[in-house]
């Protein structure tokens, strides 16, 4: 669902293609091998990258084993060691425990999103530090002396998250703040005296407060007279200042420093794109700022003393998705992805300016030259609004060899399709499907005006942006305009079903990945721990307990399933708490009753999204079979592995 951070607008007078730079016409290739779904999911996914106490290793999460486990990477030579060996649940690394080689990690059960914190000791034993049966927790940060850490938990009240501190060694929770008003706890000052609290108003507006734990005084940082979005990004180490991003009086998020003593504010970084996040290194030598620049990250690392930007090598087609600076401030870990390969881990040495890559996540059986670099494009919608999108053109496509195409719709509402690697998309492109990943109105990253354009209008104008994406594809001489489908996950799955029900003549087939089909049920059945966000979500989508229910009924594909006429495939996790399995059950049954060709795949051990490689291989392999059957009109051939 849309978050305040996770959204200007320009008019087009002619139906033309815009991109970052004109792309020269390339000769289509005829020698591109087709890779199997198994080959694409032999790739590794890597996340995290906390430095070990001696700064010789990185702690990461990887699905190399087929499911996410905790690994260590040696910085000197890139050697990897698997630390945990789970075969059932995914384990995600958090950090080393200060002064030890023990490790903190998090896990849920079967994708149910009820995350717990675990301690993994050097002897291999594991302990659940938050064992409440229905307790959901999230790790926040270490304390200044690193002898304890902060986390939030809904143990006391399933609806609200309280702030806790846990001392290393004692492992007993101590409540620092009882959250009875449903705030989001954004940050804790280093002396623990002040909390940054956020109150969601709508999905594009919130209020930011500072709470003094001693005096119990609440000070509003946000402007009470002007609606805006705010997110806190921590406090200075001397506890004199707080940092936050806001779009107050601006289309885009910018970074502000707030003086706790005087209330004075100073803008310290602003551009014509959203500042996504910012933080300082251990001793505040460097400030890291990430900017969402037209669908990819732009990373700025500034020397705080001089304001000078640290330069490091350009990465072609690269998207720096995350960074971490070592406690000694001599090394920086960068997580870098491209549209042709999953994220890789590199380490930058400040003294030598050397950038060293430590991982190679792409399956060596796949030649990246046979994959497609994403291109940022724009096209006009029905009302001339410019719609940004990420485009993948098969290397074999030409006017003499036309290919079918797919509209891909991201999750949300309020998400964003970005330049980066997604194995499913590259798999489909490799099998000659052009893909236009649409950032319809309501997507984040293009200004708050654009972000709010789908409020209480879902399945209408945002859907027409997808339809006009299809019409844009039909202007390209290498696309078969009669063979265009639509695919998406979560909110994108809703948009897929909305397209099939409300625009039944537009798309030849649809693939719904765990998408909403009944807004009335979904909005009434949101998990209790979403309580702080519930009113904001209702403000955007509509309140199912009021007269809004009429519009929500009208926007729900389930109640209009009799209009669906083209084939649909549905994939669903049985443990999904956001889009309940019953939603997919009912839309599938409704289509079958109307004799619409439908294929339904349910994974009993997944939630909202699929984490296990065996399930991705099974589900996404069948997506290709479905599309080949209904868009190409042929049963897919068995593709032999390319060496």
- pTM for this entry: 0.91
What share of the chain has pLDDT > 70, as a percent? 94
What is the rounded CA–CA span in Å between residue 428 and residue 395? 12
Residue finishing a domain among 143, 174, 205: 174
Q: How many CB atoms sit inside 10 A of residue 217's CB?
A: 11
Contact (Cβ atoms closer than 8 angstroms) between residue 283 and residue 12: no
Give the pLDDT score at 481. 96
pLDDT, tens digit (0-9, with 9 covering 90-100), for 259-287 = 999 999 999 999 999 999 999 999 999 99
Residue environment code for 401-412, b if the CB has 16+ CB neighbours within 10 A, otherwise e: ebbbbbbbbbbb
Q: Has residue 73 been placed in a domain?
A: yes
Residue 305 lies in a domain: no
pLDDT over 60 at 537, yes or no: yes
Q: Which of 158, 174, 190 is the last residue of a domain?
A: 174
In a domain, 243, yes or no: no
- Look at 70-79, 452-461, 475-484 and tell me which has the smallest mean pLDDT: 452-461
Is residue 14 pLDDT above 60, yes or no? no
Count how many residues are written for the chain.
Answer: 643
Counting the structural domains of the chain, the total is 2
Question: For strand 568-573 and strand 510-513, is the pairing parallel, antiparallel, or unpaired?
Answer: parallel
Whole-Å CA distances, 91 to 41, 162, 335: 19, 24, 19
* Burial per residue of 270-288, b for 16 or more beta-carbon CB atoms within 10 angstroms, e otherwise: ebebbbbbbbbbeeebbbb
Closest CA to 89 of 72, 64, 106: 106
Average pLDDT, the chain: 91
Contact call for residues 185 and 153 (beta carbons, < 8 A): no
Contact 304, 269 (CB under 8 A): no
Q: According to the model, what pLDDT value does residue 222 have?
A: 97
Identify any residues that bridge with 489 across adjacent strands, giving them in sequence order. Answer: 513
Gap between the Cα atoms of 399 and 407, Å rounded: 20
Residue 535 located in a structural domain? yes
In a domain, 48, yes or no: yes
Could you identify the residue written with the tokens 């997507």? 443
Q: Residue 108 belongs to a domain with what CATH number? A: 2.120.10.30
Chosen domain end from 124, 154, 174: 174
Separation between Cα atoms, residue 139 and residue 153, nearest integer Å: 9
Whether 416 shows a pLDDT value over 80: the answer reads: yes
pLDDT at site 253: 98
Is position 272 within any domain? no
DSSP tag of 119:
E
Band of pLDDT at residue 314, cut at 50, 70 and 90: confident
Look at strands 510-513 and 148-157 and give their pairing. unpaired
Averaged pLDDT for residues 141-169: 96
pLDDT tens-digit map of 341-357: 999 999 999 999 999 99
Question: Using CA atoms, how far apart are residues 361 and 366, in angstroms rounded to an integer?
Answer: 11
| Domain carrying residue 117 | 44-174
Cβ-contact 531, 182 below 8 angstroms: yes
Q: Name the strand (E) or helix (H) holding 106.
A: strand 103-107
Residue 194 has pLDDT above 60, yes or no: yes
What local confidence, expressed as pLDDT, does residue 20 receive?
37
Residue 317: its pLDDT value, please? 65
Determine the angle formed by the axes of helices 613-627 and 423-430, rounding to 10 degrees: 30
Query: What integer pLDDT is reported at residue 310 of this predicted model?
Result: 87
Q: Predicted confidence band at 4 (pLDDT cuts at 50, 70, 90)?
A: very low
Q: Give the position of tokens 């029905």.
A: 382
Tell me the C-alpha to C-alpha distance, in Å, between residue 74 and each of 56, 78, 105, 208, 598.
Answer: 6, 5, 19, 41, 48
- Ordered DSSP codes for 6-65: -----B-SS---EESSPPPPPPPPS-PPPPPHHHHTTS--EEEEEEPTTSSEEEEEE-TT
Annotate 519-553 with b (16+ C-beta within 10 A) or e (fewer): bbbbbeebbebebbbbebbbbbbbbbeeebbebbe
pLDDT score of 316 more than 90: no
Alpha helix locations (H) across 91-174?
none
pLDDT of residue 272: 95
> Lowest-pLDDT range, 318-332, 431-445, 453-467?
318-332
Q: Cα–chain-centroid distance for residue 624?
A: 24
Predicted pLDDT of residue 23: 44
Over the stretch 48-90, which tens digit does the pLDDT of each residue have? Answer: 999 999 999 999 999 999 999 999 999 999 999 999 999 999 9
Count CB-CB contacts under 10 A for residue 251.
17
Instruction: Tell me the average pLDDT across 240-245.
Output: 97
Asked whether residue 407 is assigned to any structural domain, the reply reads yes
> pLDDT per residue over 94-114, tens digit each?
999 998 999 999 999 999 999
Task: Calculate what percentage of the chain has a pLDDT beyond 90.
Answer: 84
pLDDT band at 635 (very low <50, low <70, confident <90, very high): low
CA distances from 368 to 360, 433, 605 (A): 12, 17, 32
Q: Is residue 176 within 8 Å of 164, Cβ to Cβ? A: yes
CATH number for the domain harbouring residue 609: 3.40.50.1820
2 has pLDDT over 90: no
The string of DSSP codes covering 142-156 is E-TTSSEEEEEEEEE
The CA-CA-CA angle for residues 107, 113, 114, to 5°, reads 70
Return d(Cα 415, Cα 511) in angstroms, integer.
19
Q: What is the pLDDT of residue 15?
A: 25
Check whether 558 has a pLDDT greater than 80. Answer: yes
DSSP3 helix / strand / coil % (the chain, rounded to 5): 15, 35, 45
Confidence (pLDDT) at 26: 60
Omega before residue 640 within 30° of 0, cis: no
* Residue 594 in domain: yes
Q: Residue 500: is its pLDDT beyond 80?
A: yes
């Amino acid at each position: 669902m849309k978050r305040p951070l996770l959204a200007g607008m320009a008019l087009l007078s002619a139906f033309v293609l815009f991109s970052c730079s004109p792309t020269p016409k390339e000769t289509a290739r005829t020698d591109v091998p087709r890779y199997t779904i198994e080959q694409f999911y032999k790739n590794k996914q890597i996340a995290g990258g906390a430095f070990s106490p001696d700064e010789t290793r990185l702690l990461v999460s990887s699905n190399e084993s087929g499911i996410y486990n905790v690994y260590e990477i040696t910085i000197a030579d890139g050697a990897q060691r698997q630390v945990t060996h789970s075969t059932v649940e995914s384990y995600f690394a958090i950090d080393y425990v200060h002064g030890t080689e023990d490790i903190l990690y998090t896990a849920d059960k079967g994708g149910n999103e009820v995350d717990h914190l675990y301690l993994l000791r050097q002897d291999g034993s594991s302990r659940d530090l938050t064992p409440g049966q229905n307790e959901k927790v999230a790790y926040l940060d270490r304390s200044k002396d690193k002898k304890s850490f902060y986390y939030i938990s809904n143990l006391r009240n399933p609806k609200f998250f309280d702030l806790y501190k846990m001392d290393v060694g004692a492992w007993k929770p101590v409540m620092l703040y009882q959250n009875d008003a449903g705030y989001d706890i954004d940050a804790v000052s280093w002396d623990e005296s002040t909390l940054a609290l956020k109150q969601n108003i709508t999905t594009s507006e919130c209020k930011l407060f500072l709470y003094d734990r001693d005096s119990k005084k609440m000070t509003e940082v946000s402007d009470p007279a002007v609606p805006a979005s705010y997110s806190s990004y921590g406090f200075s180490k001397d506890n004199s200042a707080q940092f936050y991003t806001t779009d107050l009086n601006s289309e885009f998020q910018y970074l502000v420093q707030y003086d706790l003593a005087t209330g004075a504010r100073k803008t310290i970084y602003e551009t014509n794109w959203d500042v996504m996040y910012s933080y300082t290194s251990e001793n505040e030598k460097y400030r890291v700022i990430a900017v969402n620049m037209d669908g990819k990250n732009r990373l700025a690392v500034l020397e705080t003393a001089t304001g000078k930007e640290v330069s490091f090598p350009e990465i072609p087609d690269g998207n720096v998705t995350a960074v971490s600076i070592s406690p000694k401030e001599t090394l920086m870990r960068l997580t870098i992805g491209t549209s042709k390969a999953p994220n890789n881990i590199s380490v930058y040495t400040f003294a030598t300016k050397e950038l060293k890559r430590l991982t190679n996540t792409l399956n060596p059986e796949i030649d990246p030259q046979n994959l497609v670099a994403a291109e940022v494009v724009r096209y006009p919608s029905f009302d001339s609004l410019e719609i940004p999108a990420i485009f993948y053109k098969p290397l074999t496509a030409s006017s003499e060899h036309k290919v079918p195409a797919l509209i891909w719709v991201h999750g949300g509402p309020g998400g964003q399709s970005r330049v980066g690697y997604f194995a499913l998309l590259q798999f489909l492109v490799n099998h000659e499907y052009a893909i236009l990943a649409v950032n319809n109105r309501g997507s984040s990253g293009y200004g708050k005006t654009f972000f709010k354009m789908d409020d209480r209008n879902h399945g209408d104008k945002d859907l027409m942006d997808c339809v006009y994406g299809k019409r844009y594809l039909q202007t390209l001489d290498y696309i078969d305009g009669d063979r265009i489908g639509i695919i998406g996950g979560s909110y994108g799955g809703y948009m897929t079903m909305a397209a099939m029900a409300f625009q039944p003549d537009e798309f030849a087939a649809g693939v719904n990945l765990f998408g909403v089909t009944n807004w009335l049920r979904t909005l009434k059945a949101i998990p209790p721990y979403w309580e702080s966000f519930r009113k904001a979500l209702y403000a955007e989508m509509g309140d199912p307990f009021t007269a809004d229910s009429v519009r929500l009924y009208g926007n729900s594909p389930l109640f209009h399933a009799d209009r669906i006429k083209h084939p649909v495939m549905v994939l669903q996790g049985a443990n999904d708490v956001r889009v309940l399995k019953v939603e997919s059950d009912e839309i599938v049954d409704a289509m079958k009753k109307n004799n619409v060709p439908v294929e339904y795949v349910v994974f009993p051990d997944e939630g909202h999204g699929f984490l296990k490689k065996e399930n991705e291989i099974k589900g996404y392999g069948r997506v290709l079979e479905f599309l080949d059957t209904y868009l190409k009109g042929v049963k897919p051939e068995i593709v032999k592995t390319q060496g």
